[in-house]
Amino acid sequence: MHAIVDHIQSVDLNAGEETHRYLDTLTKPPGSLGALEELAIQLSAITGELKPSVTPPAVVVFAADHGVADEGVSAFPQAVTAQMVANFANGGAAINVFARQIGAQVEIVDVGVASPLTLPGVTSAKVRYGTANMVLEDAMQCDQAIAAIDVGIAAVNRAKRAGAKCIMVGEMGIANTTASSAMLAVLTGESVASVVGAGTGINPQQQAYKVAVIERAIAARSADPQVPLEVLAKLGGLEIAAMTGAYLAAAAQRLPAIVDGFIATVAALTACRLCPAVRGYLIFGHRSQEPGHDVALKALEAKPLLDMGMRLGEGSGAALAYPLLQAATAMVAEMATFTDAGVSDKASP
Ligand SMILES: Cc1cc2ncn([C@H]3O[C@H](COP(=O)(O)O)[C@@H](O)[C@H]3O)c2cc1C
Ligand SMILES: O=C(O)c1cccnc1
């Protein structure tokens, strides 16, 4: 992990500026394609190319379990994590459907599911069998968090070697909205109540109890908000660490990464706290209904592309946003300039 952080360079703002100037020569009023133009500029800054491609895309889903599930903070039992991994492997989950729609390869990585898993189509990279219950002890040790970060780095490096031009990471881990909320409250200093939501669909009484569980864990762990790795290890999760590593690797490889919902954005925030230059490589796919997502987006000064009322995870919101990146690159590559098309570029006085 440390080696890769040293490798990450800021995005190339000059390349972005060049694209901005080129966009104004295309047959449309300057700026009229709005956020699509901002995307094109960012993609050039990321890749250093005037006409980059985001095809083919790759999706990586990291799965892990959370000891804090023992506190009854999710609407679903812990066994659903492993069951969903089998569903991913069989191609039946939402992310499989959306990945097929955009022509993305999907890799499923077991970075810490609490049961032994040997499924065809699942990469086994288990760091440990789930985290510990963070109310009672640190979720994991720092070296385990680093090992999980390295699993995420390795997955993105594999995708890059296979030709991927755009990275989307997702997660599966029952109770991971609890771990993410705890991390976010500590990293931002916001109240636990303001970041906690219904996750998989707990009722208001259960949600109040989830707030209390997180407050107890935060008090007991006393993680230093200035040390992101400590926050990740004491309160986070193995899949959240792997996602953090994936964003670091995307930045190091100069690949655009589309960030999914709440949990993904907390991992993205962690990556940016470890290395602020990562921020320029991140594109935010959608706005999740989980209330903490707005807090995390604000901390990253991020504006998501879509607002679909979704709250699933798995990378689903990132995959849905991907065609907008394709549109941005096609616009730059295929639109005629005023000169080419013989269109007057200014109103005559
Ligand atoms: C069938 C099923 C599929 C999912 N896919 C993603 N999640 C999402 O829900 C979980 C987080 O919510 P909580 O913190 O309330 O447990 C994560 O696994 C997340 O990816 C799912 C949850 C379920 C039940
Ligand atoms: O936005 C997310 O990532 C999310 C929200 C609720 C449950 N699982 C994931």
Ligand 1 centroid to Cα of residue 200, in Å, is: 6
- The tokens describing 139, both together, are 């979720």
Q: Which ligand is nearest to the CA of 71?
A: 1
pLDDT value, residue 2: 85
Rg for the chain, CA atoms, rounded: 20
Atom of ligand 2 nearest to the CA of 293: 1
Residue 241, C-beta contacts closer than 8 angstroms, at least 6 positions apart: 111, 145, 146, 148, 149, 151, 152, 232, 267
Quote the pTM value. Answer: 0.98
pLDDT value, residue 349: 53
Query: Which amino acids bring their CB within 6 angstroms of ligand 1?
Result: 74-76, 80, 84, 171-178, 199-200, 312-314
Count of residues in the chain: 349
Determine which residue's CA is closest to atom 9 belonging to ligand 2: 313
* Residue type at position 187: L
* Residue type at position 191: S
> Which residues in the chain show pLDDT less than 70?
347-349
* Residue type at position 283: I
Ligand 1 centroid to Cα of residue 241, in Å, is: 17
| C-alpha 51, offset from chain centre | 24
Q: How far is CA 251 from CA 53, 221, 277, 313, in A?
A: 16, 31, 8, 22
Atom of ligand 1 nearest to the CA of 180: 14
Q: Which ligand is nearest to the CA of 80?
A: 1
Ligand 2 centroid to Cα of residue 93, in Å, is: 15
Q: Which ligand is nearest to the CA of 284?
A: 2
- The tokens describing 213, both together, are 């569980």
Q: What is the 3-state secondary structure (H, E, C) of 297-318?
A: HHHCCCCCCECCCCCCCCCHHH
pLDDT value, residue 277: 98
Tell me the per-residue pLDDT of 299-349, one tens digit each, with 9 for 90 and over. 999 999 999 999 999 999 999 999 999 999 999 999 999 999 999 987 655
Determine contact, residues 99/209, Cβ cutoff 8 Å: no
| Residue from 177, 184, 219, 180 nearest 202 by CA | 177
Ligand 2 centroid to Cα of residue 271, in Å, is: 19
Atom of ligand 2 nearest to the CA of 265: 3
Q: How far is CA 171 from CA 112, 132, 139, 295, in A?
A: 11, 18, 17, 20
For 26, counting Cβ atoms within 10 Å of its Cβ (0-12 exposed, 13-18 middle, 19+ buried), the class is: buried
Beta-bridge partner residues of 306: 286
Tell me the per-residue pLDDT of 169-209, one tens digit each, with 9 for 90 and over. 999 999 999 999 999 999 999 999 999 999 999 999 999 99
Catalytic residue numbers read: 314
Ligand 1 centroid to Cα of residue 261, in Å, is: 12
Q: Which ligand is nearest to the CA of 290?
A: 2
Determine which residue's CA is closest to atom 20 belonging to ligand 1: 172
Determine which residue's CA is closest to atom 5 belonging to ligand 2: 311
pLDDT value, residue 345: 84
Determine contact, residues 130/176, Cβ cutoff 8 Å: no
For 92, counting Cβ atoms within 10 Å of its Cβ (0-12 exposed, 13-18 middle, 19+ buried), the class is: exposed
| DSSP letter, residue 26 | B
Q: Strand 257-259's sheet: what is its strand order?
A: 122-124, 105-112, 57-64, 166-172, 257-259, 282-284
Determine contact, residues 109/61, Cβ cutoff 8 Å: yes
Ligand 1 centroid to Cα of residue 6, in Å, is: 34
Q: How far is CA 137 from CA 67, 213, 238, in A?
A: 10, 13, 15
Atom of ligand 2 nearest to the CA of 176: 8
pLDDT value, residue 348: 53
Beta-bridge partner residues of 170: 61
| Residue from 248, 228, 214 nearest 142 by CA | 228
Measured in Å, how far apart are the chain's first and last C-alpha atoms?
Answer: 60
Atom of ligand 1 nearest to the CA of 199: 15
| Candidate of 174, 243, 266 to mutate for ligand 1, largest count of ligand atoms within 8 Å of Cβ | 174
Query: Which amino acids bring their CB within 6 angstroms of ligand 2?
Result: 177, 199-200, 260-264, 288, 290, 293, 311-313
- The tokens describing 151, both together, are 């699993």
Distance CA 280, CA 29 (A): 27
Ligand 1 centroid to Cα of residue 174, in Å, is: 5
Distance CA 310, CA 278 (A): 25
Give the ipTM of the model, two decimals please.
0.99
* Residue type at position 73: V
- The tokens describing 33, both together, are 């394609």
Determine contact, residues 61/170, Cβ cutoff 8 Å: yes
